[in-house]
């Protein structure tokens, strides 16, 4: 399997873990210092996982209709466009967004170090 395809499959598995709302499984895809950046600012790995564990954040959909990967040595970048849906603090959400995730490969395993999301226009 090409390295780009390997990274895309890794991202798809992470999306499934998010849909399953399994904080321990989600954590396996993230580096210890992972962050996500969105319109509300920066959220750390620990804060994100705590919101999943406590049910503050529940995903019921996490998929992409466009995804590309680029590999630079032990660094990979995935740019994707898709839907993130579920509830946050009991309020339903459905976001169509672009995301950019940066990965590093250590000990033959990919881990995401940073994700940034921004709203996307529907095609």
Predicted confidence band of residue 52 (pLDDT cuts 50, 70, 90): very high
- What's residue 77's pLDDT? 99
Owning domain of residue 102: 3-119
* Summary mean pLDDT of the chain: 97
pLDDT digits (tens, 9 = 90+) for 13-23: 999 999 999 99
Q: What is the CATH number of the domain that holds 61?
A: 3.10.450.50
The pLDDT score that the predictor gives to residue 62 is: 97
pLDDT of residue 1 exceeding 80: no
pLDDT at 123: 82
Task: Work out how many domains the chain is built from and give that number.
Answer: 1
Tell me the two tokens of residue 31.
Answer: 């580096």
């Amino acid at each position: 399997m090409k390295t780009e395809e390997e990274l895309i499959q890794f991202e798809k598995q992470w999306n499934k873990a998010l849909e399953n709302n399994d904080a321990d499984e989600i954590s396996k895809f993230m580096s210890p210092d992972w962050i996500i950046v969105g319109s509300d600012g920066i959220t750390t790995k620990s804060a994100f996982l705590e919101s999943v564990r406590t049910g503050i954040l529940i995903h019921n959909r996490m998929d992409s209709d466009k995804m590309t990967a680029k590999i630079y040595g032990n660094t990979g970048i995935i740019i994707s466009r898709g839907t993130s849906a579920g509830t946050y603090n009991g309020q339903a959400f459905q976001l169509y967004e672009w995301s950019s995730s940066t990965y590093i490969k250590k000990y033959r395993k990919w881990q995401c170090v940073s994700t940034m999301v921004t709203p996307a226009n529907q095609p």
